[in-house]
Amino acid sequence: MNHTRKTVKKRKKKKRLRRLFLLVFLLLLGGVGAFGYNIYSETKQASSKIYQALDPSSKPARNIEMRKDPFTVLLVGVENQYHDEEGRSDVVMLLTVNPKTNKVYLLSIPRDTRVYIPSEGRKDKITHSYSHGGIQSTIAAVNELIDVPIDYYVTTDFEGFEKIVDSLGGVTVDVPFTFKAQLTGSLKWHTFHKGKQELNGNEALAYVRMRKSDPRGDFGRNERQKQVIRAIIDKSTSITSLPKLDDVIADLGDHVRTNIPPSDLLSFIYVYQKMKNADVENLHLKGYDETINGVYYYIPDEQSVSSINETLRQALETSNASLTRSDSPSTQSQN
């Protein structure tokens, strides 16, 4: 009899524990769900301030499901975007992400690269493309060189870049060699020592802009840009940064523009979290220096361009979305 009572008590106790566990689990699940929805709604509201669609006539005719399909993002750092009426595309980087193969490709296009700029009607440095029609002109110029669809873009001016880094509490980079660079605003000289170093926004900007003291010139500069971009994305998409993501985006309202819809922003974060440890293949645009009419240019090597195009097209062809764009500018042959 006593044995039977003990058995019943044990069963009741286990049942209560299971109910308690289930209750705690449901509360946690509800909390996470509410937390996720809160982030989603607030981020959506904040990101609407930086959303800027492209002109319908130049919008890619690709149906992209960011969590499933490969996509491209053009990252453009604009000098004097809001202090100067025209501005220049000082940093041009093309990010290609394939969630299916878990591969990421990153291409930096040197600012002095000579390309055909449709809005100018002639070949010029790609850094001048932005001053002849804004981001749509830069996208068209990039497409004259790299013949793949550009699904999304993100632009920021230098002040916005500083704010992004500062809002994240700084970024850590591995400085390849010791050098000095002048900080914007204060014009003070800052020494970057070889090895790991934490940078604030002002320091990070000087770090990615310096090229005269780099033995590799524009190529060394491009590598440092990629380094900082990766650090920013890593930190901004970490779970600890998500609660303040809406505040970060709201602060950047005057400095950042993107055509990534507010509803897709968290999908981008999801994809990046999923692919955080994926290998990033850095694509190098080979070429040579040339002075034309007294102006220095970087001339892309045709074979290198062809190889990059083939690599990126293969990366995107696993998508169900067609690579054919009704608005794709035809490649120009003007010199």
Q: Give CA–CA dist 43/146, Å, rounded.
A: 32
Closest C-alpha to 147, from 136, 137, 139 = 139
In the predicted model, what is the mean pLDDT of residues 286-300? 95
Q: Identify the residue whose tokens are 């006593």.
A: 2
Residue 332 lies in a domain: no
> What percent of the chain lies above the pLDDT cut of 70?
69
| Residue 181 · residue 189 · CB < 8 Å | yes
| pLDDT band at residue 332 under the 50/70/90 scheme | very low
Question: 88 has which bridge partners?
Answer: 79
Confirm whether 2 is domain-assigned: no
Distances (CA, A) of 3 to 13, 17, 157: 15, 21, 77
- Of 197 and 33, the structure prediction assigns the larger pLDDT to 197
pLDDT at 236 over 90: no
Question: With 80 as the cut, is the pLDDT of residue 307 above it?
Answer: yes
Residue 136 domain-assigned (yes or no) = yes
Spatial separation of the C-alpha atoms in residues 280 and 282, rounded to whole Å = 6
Domain that holds residue 213: 44-316
Q: What is the pLDDT of residue 247?
A: 60
User: What number of H helices and E strands is found in the chain?
Assistant: 8, 14
Q: What CATH code is carried by the domain that includes residue 102?
A: 3.40.630.190
Helices (H), 1-133: 2-47
The answer as to whether 71 is a domain residue is yes
pLDDT confidence tier of residue 322, bands split at 50, 70 and 90:
very low
Q: Does residue 112 fall inside a structural domain? A: yes
- Quote the pLDDT of residue 287: 95
- The answer on pLDDT for 251 being more than 80 is no
Number of residues that this document lists for the chain: 335
Mean pLDDT for the stretch of residues 25-39 = 42
Are 289 and 298 a contacting pair, CB within 8 Å?
yes
Mean pLDDT along residues 95-113: 90
Alpha-carbon distance of 248 to 233, in angstroms, equals 13
Side-chain half-sphere of 330: how many Cα atoms within 13 Å? Answer: 3
- Say whether pLDDT at 128 is over 80: yes
Specify the higher pLDDT residue, 82 or 51. Answer: 51
pLDDT of amino acid 124:
96
Rounded distance between C-alpha atoms, residue 11 and residue 314, angstroms: 60
Q: What is the pLDDT of residue 143?
A: 95
pTM for the whole structure: 0.71
Q: Would residue 21 count as lying in a domain?
A: no
Query: To 10 degrees, what angle do helices 201-209 and 218-236 make?
Result: 150
Please state the separation of Cα 4 from the chain's center in Å.
Answer: 66
**Where does the pLDDT of residue 333 fall: very low under 50, low under 70, confident under 90, or very high at 90 and above?**
very low
Q: Which of 78-82, 188-192, 239-243, 244-248 is predicted least confidently?
A: 239-243
Mean pLDDT of all residues in 123-128:
94
- Residue 323 CA to residue 266 CA, distance in Å, equals 24
pLDDT on residue 142: 96
Q: Are 114 and 298 in contact (CB under 8 A)?
A: yes
> Is 1 domain-assigned?
no
The DSSP 8-state label assigned to residue 262 in this structure reads G
Is residue 218 situated within a structural domain? yes
Low-confidence winner among 74-88, 172-186, 254-268, 309-323 (lowest mean pLDDT)? 74-88
Residue 79: per-residue pLDDT = 77
Structurally, the chain folds into a number of domains equal to: 1
**Please, which pLDDT band fits residue 330 given cuts at 50, 70 and 90?**
very low
What is the separation, in whole angstroms, between the first and last Cα of the chain? 100
